[in-house]
Each structure stands twice: as C-alpha cells, then as structure tokens.
C-alpha cells in the first residue's frame, strides 16, 4: 500500500520536458494530468493545462476527479510546496482509485487490447510544488499561465 513516504516525486525539469514533448492543447487532450490542489493561494499563475481541484473541496469533487483522470497515463499532484496538501491529495486519489470496482468490459482505461494488459497509471507529486515550479518556469508561457512575477518577487506568502 502506498504511503506519503513512498509517493513518487517528479522534478520540475522532468515535468517540463514531459509537457513540452506531449505538447497538449488542453487538459483533455493531454496524456498527462496535473492536479493543482492549492486553495486560496491559487493566485499568481498555474501550470498550463493543469486542473484546479482545491483541497478544501476534494471530498466532494473526488468522483469527478476520478472520472477525469481515468484515461491519463501520468497524473501529477501539487500544491504550493508539495509537502502536505499535494501528497495528501495524491494519496487520497490512489486509495479511492484502488477501491473502485474494476470494469468487466475490457474497456477500462489503459487496457492494451492486443495483449489484454492493463497499463499502470503513474501518479507523482511535483517536487517543491508550484513555488519551485515558478522559480524555474514561471516566465515560460509554453508551460505556465497567468504568471504574475510581481506576486512572487518576495517569495511565497502563503
């Protein structure tokens, strides 16, 4: 069973490379899902194509999140620093996903029809969260939307 300590981390440069290679036009068309669970601190920018699911409402929105992420190859959770909220949401998602009844039709996400094998979805936590991301990619419009450098010049205020 996965725990907070065993959640896999993904660095900002690795995620940036994955996003640039995938070149998604929207969250729906991307094989990579980025879930931003920041609450009131969701200002000053966000990773392009990310989905905002505030942690304070994650209980109510978990069914929607499970449905939206079902066909994604890679899912990356983050908050400001990815120390509490991001890892907690990732763990909750993994446990809820594991508890879901499996489809019996063979149409389940990630099934390799030729081999009949299920492709394992990779779930990560963004190392250093959005604070670390914006330090490296805040001004890169290919990767970050709505970035406000003036809000970040003195560091994180959360």
Contacts of 16 (CB under 8 A, 6+ apart): 136, 137, 140, 143
Q: For tokens 């940036």, what's the residue?
A: 16
DSSP code, position 144: E
- Tell me phi and psi for residue 122, to 5 degrees: -95, 130
Residues with active-site annotation: 79
> Do residues 80 and 129 lie in contact, with contact meaning Cβ atoms separated by under 8 Å?
yes
Structure tokens at 143: 């990767």
Q: What's the gap between Cα 13 and its chain centre? A: 15
């Amino acid at each position: 069973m996965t725990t907070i300590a065993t959640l896999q981390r993904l660095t900002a440069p690795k995620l940036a490379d994955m996003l640039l290679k995938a070149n998604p036009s929207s969250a729906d068309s991307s094989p990579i899902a980025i879930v931003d669970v920041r609450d009131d601190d969701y200002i000053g920018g966000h990773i392009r194509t990310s989905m905002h699911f505030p942690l304070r409402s994650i209980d109510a929105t978990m069914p929607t999140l499970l449905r939206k992420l079902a066909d994604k190859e890679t899912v990356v959770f983050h908050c400001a620093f990815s120390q509490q909220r991001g890892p907690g949401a990732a763990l909750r998602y993994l446990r809820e996903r594991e508890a879901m009844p499996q489809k019996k039709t063979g149409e389940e996400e990630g099934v390799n029809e030729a081999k009949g094998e299920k492709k394992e979805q990779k779930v990560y936590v963004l190392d250093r969260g959005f604070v670390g991301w914006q330090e490296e990619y805040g001004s890169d419009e290919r990767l970050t939307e709505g970035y406000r450098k003036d809000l970040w010049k003195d560091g994180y205020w959360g």
